[in-house]
């Protein structure tokens, strides 16, 4: 099924010239798949001597292209001056970028500048994986009276090996959705991937997870783009990607589908209950081990045993086709709670001994 028009935001990373904007954006409107045009006017760059956008002179270019092709336009704002200049040019939608979301002072300054102006605003996740910064940014804008808010997932900085420019960490946008179930959630595969060849994969994953739309960087000739050349699609590649997307439905109005899903979910409920009971039983044994260690002057942390658990459970997980990363994280939490239980036993018995001495 083709992607729904109202879900798709597309356009170049940066507005470079009126001609470049029109050439990049007109095919998006002609095809009818895009519902909004995006372009960066001010570009927050890591290093000072790189292209930092054309500035406010490009705002009229963006607005004029939007009027010519009949689509609303959006751009990023990072401070109150950007807000004022974008509003002066009647830009339709604003977004708060990842480098701004990470700073509550900057978000508050933007929120203050937007008081009394109920323009749609999109909020990208912060660079670092901190759900509270993302939640807080949305709350600050809400407190300023803004009602048309949406969130953009563009991935998170990661200091390790990854094929992506920014790790997706899907659990964080899913968590945000539980905070704000009525706030549309848009995926930005361009910034997650950093490479155009990976974009279709991430776009499809976001649709599988029930995201409400996509923001895709599209340039008439990405090879000569002044910023983020490697992650921009041509208009033709953009259309091909959208045509290949499978859009799932969240509609449970069909009673047959709903009943079958209920049966499967009840199985999950039973298994979850059994897992929790088993974890409870495991922790009781952990307390017994803590008491035994106390009586025999053993330390709570036994590193050799912990490594053995990781190795043997990891082997079992592989045989059961479970993700090693998932099982490792699960075991770490179990081990953490087990250490806490054993430490409590040590502390409690130590306090009892102190009372006896006194």
List pLDDT tens digits, range 171-192.
999 999 999 999 999 999 999 9
State the SS3 of 2-58: CCCHHHEEEECCECCCHHHHHHHHHHHHHHCCCCEEECECCCCCCCCCCCCCCHHHH
The DSSP result for 243-290, as a single string, is HHPPPP-----SHHHHHHHHHHHHHHHHHHHHHHHHHHHHHHHHHHHH
Confidence (pLDDT) at 250: 67
Structure tokens at 26: 């007109």
* Average pLDDT score over residue span 56-73: 97
* CB of 106 closer than 8 Å to CB of 135: no
The first and second tokens of residue 6, run together, are 């109202």
**Angle (nearest 5°) at CA 184 between 181 and 189:** 125
What pLDDT score was predicted for residue 262?
A: 87
Q: What is the pLDDT of residue 254?
A: 78
Task: Tell me how many degrees the CA angle 28-31-36 measures, rounded to the nearest 5.
Answer: 40
**Domains (range + CATH), the chain:** 5-244 (3.20.20.70), 255-357 (1.20.59.10)
What's the rounded mean pLDDT across residues 296-318? 88
Q: Across residues 268-297, what is the average pLDDT? A: 92
Among 117-121, 250-254, 269-273, which stretch is predicted with the lowest mean pLDDT? 250-254
Report the alpha-carbon distance of residue 213 to residue 207 in Å, rounded.
8
Pair 332, 325: CB distance under 8 Å:
no
**Distance separating alpha carbons of residues 182 and 31, to the nearest angstrom:** 29
Q: Is 124 helix (H, G, I), strand (E, B) or coil?
A: strand
Averaged pLDDT score across all residues of the chain: 91
Residue 244 CA to chain centroid, in angstroms?
23
Q: Are 12 and 225 in contact (CB under 8 A)?
A: yes
């Amino acid at each position: 099924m083709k992607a729904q028009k109202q879900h798709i935001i597309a356009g170049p990373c940066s507005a470079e010239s009126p001609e470049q904007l029109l050439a990049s954006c007109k095919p998006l409107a002609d095809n009818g798949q895009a519902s909004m045009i995006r372009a960066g006017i001010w570009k927050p760059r890591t290093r000072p001597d790189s292209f930092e956008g054309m500035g406010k002179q490009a705002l009229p270019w963006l607005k004029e292209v939007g009027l010519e092709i009949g689509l609303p336009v959006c751009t990023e704002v990072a401070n109150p001056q950007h807000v004022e200049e974008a509003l002066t040019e009647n830009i339709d939608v604003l977004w708060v970028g990842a480098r701004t979301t990470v700073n509550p002072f900057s978000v508050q300054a933007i929120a203050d500048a937007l008081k009394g102006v109920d323009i749609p605003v999109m909020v990208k996740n912060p660079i670092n994986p901190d759900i509270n910064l993302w939640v807080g940014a949305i709350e600050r804008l809400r407190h300023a009276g803004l009602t048309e808010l949406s969130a953009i997932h563009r991935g998170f900085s990661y200091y390790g090996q990854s094929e992506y420019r920014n790790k997706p960490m899907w659990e964080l946008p899913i968590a945000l959705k539980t905070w704000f179930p009525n706030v549309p959630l848009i995926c930005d595969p361009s910034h997650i991937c950093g490479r155009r060849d990976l974009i279709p994969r991430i776009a499809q994953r976001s649709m599988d997870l029930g995201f409400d739309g996509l923001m895709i960087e599209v340039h008439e000739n990405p090879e000569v783009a002044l910023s983020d050349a490697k992650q921009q699609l041509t208009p033709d590649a953009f259309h091909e990607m959208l045509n290949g997307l499978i859009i799932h439905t969240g509609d449970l109005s069909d009673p047959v589908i709903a009943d079958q899903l209920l049966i499967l979910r009840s199985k999950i409920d039973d298994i979850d209950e059994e897992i929790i009971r088993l974890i409870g039983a495991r922790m009781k044994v952990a307390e017994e081990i803590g008491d035994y260690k106390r009586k025999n002057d053993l330390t709570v942390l036994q590193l050799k045993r912990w490594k053995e658990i990781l190795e043997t459970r990891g082997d079992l997980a592989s045989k059961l086709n479970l993700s090693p990363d998932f099982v490792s994280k699960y075991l770490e939490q179990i081990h953490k709670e087990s250490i806490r239980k054993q430490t409590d036993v040590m502390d409690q018995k130590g306090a009892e001994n102190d009372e006896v001495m006194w």
